[in-house]
Amino acid sequence: MRFLSAALAVLLWSVGASFFDVALAQLDPRRGPPGCVPVAERRAEIGCYVVASIPLSEFEGPVFWHLDRFGSRAEADAIKGPTGTVVEALERVWLFTIEAQDWKAIAGAHVGKVGPLVIKPGVKHTASYLEAIMLPGAETSVHHHPGPEALFVFSGEECMETPEGMSVGRPEGPNIIVSGYVPHRLTITGAEKRRSLGLILHESSQPIAIREHEHGWHAKDLCRPN
């Protein structure tokens, strides 16, 4: 009986912890997708961290995520525009900017751009930026975002499964983009540590990530090795 009680206690704790995680993902806009936490809570190198979450103005059409690298935070701050965010991630200083495709920073080293990111016109959005360092075999639970998600890989390999199939992201490209409200699951594939930056451009009135239980879609394990 004592063993049974202990096992029951562990089970109840696990269920409670899972519910708590879901509640945080739905109610706290600082928190990222399932498994991601604010960077202030970082305790180890490995993990997924929300490094910034910035409300933006309304946009009328598709936008792009521009990534520019700087030698110091002061240099990036000096040219940051109204849709730009200066962050420190992956041991570098970055200026992330949400703008039209042909926008260019007037300084810094241009690293890349990801898009087009299709969002609802006339709706205020928040740009939540992620730093993720994960080992092969790691994967998220199924979830979706109220806005597009974009990933920029610097090392390793990742595989995204959606109802439309799977796509693979690597440093040489292509970049993975998942449209808003589309359920998905990310799996780290390949043989080396995956290091990436991410953007979730979600509607400001909605949480950054929502568990996908209510929609009934189940991943087919397309990204898992046979």
**Residue 36 — very low, low, confident or very high, per pLDDT cuts 50/70/90?**
confident
Query: Which residues make Cβ contacts (< 8 Å) with residue 18, sequence separation at least 6?
Result: none
The label of the residue with tokens 């063993």 reads 3
> For residue 7, what pLDDT is reported?
34
Residue 177 pLDDT greater than 50, yes or no: yes
Mean pLDDT, range 34-39, rounded to an integer: 79
Helix (H, G, I), strand (E, B) or coil at 129: strand
Strands (DSSP E) along 11-123, which ranges? 36-38, 47-58, 63-70, 84-89, 92-99, 109-117
Please state which of the ranges 70-74, 77-81, 136-140 shows the lowest mean pLDDT. Answer: 136-140
Residue 184 pLDDT greater than 90, yes or no: yes
* pTM attached to this predicted model: 0.83
Q: What is the domain partition of the chain in residue ranges?
A: 2-215
**Is 178:117 a contact under the CB 8 Å cutoff?**
no
Task: Dihedral sign for Cα 211, 113, 190, 225, please.
Answer: positive
Angstrom CA distances, 97 to 81, 86, 165, 172, 198, stand at 8, 9, 30, 21, 13
> For residue 12, what pLDDT is reported?
28
How far is Cα 130 from Cα 88, in angstroms, rounded to an integer? 11
CA 180 from centroid of its chain's CA atoms: 12
Is the peptide bond preceding residue 174 cis, with omega within 30 degrees of 0?
yes
Q: Which tens digit of pLDDT belongs to each residue from 120-176? A: 998 999 999 999 999 999 999 899 999 999 999 999 999 999 999 999 999 999 999
User: Mean pLDDT across the chain, nearest whole number?
Assistant: 84
How far is Cα 150 from Cα 223, in angstroms, rounded to an integer? 18
Mean pLDDT, range 185-207, rounded to an integer: 95
| Percent of all residues in the chain with a pLDDT value above 90, rounded to a whole number | 68
Q: Higher model confidence: residue 217 or residue 214?
A: 217
- CATH architecture observed for domain 2-215: Sandwich (2.60)
Q: Higher model confidence: residue 22 or residue 68?
A: 68
Tokens of 181: 């409200």
Spatial CA neighbour of 155 closest among 194, 187, 186: 194
Question: What residue type is 154 in one-letter code?
Answer: F
> For residue 226, what pLDDT is reported?
65
Residues shown for the chain: 226
Residue 20 pLDDT greater than 50, yes or no: no
**Is 185:141 a contact under the CB 8 Å cutoff?**
yes
Q: Higher model confidence: residue 103 or residue 20?
A: 103
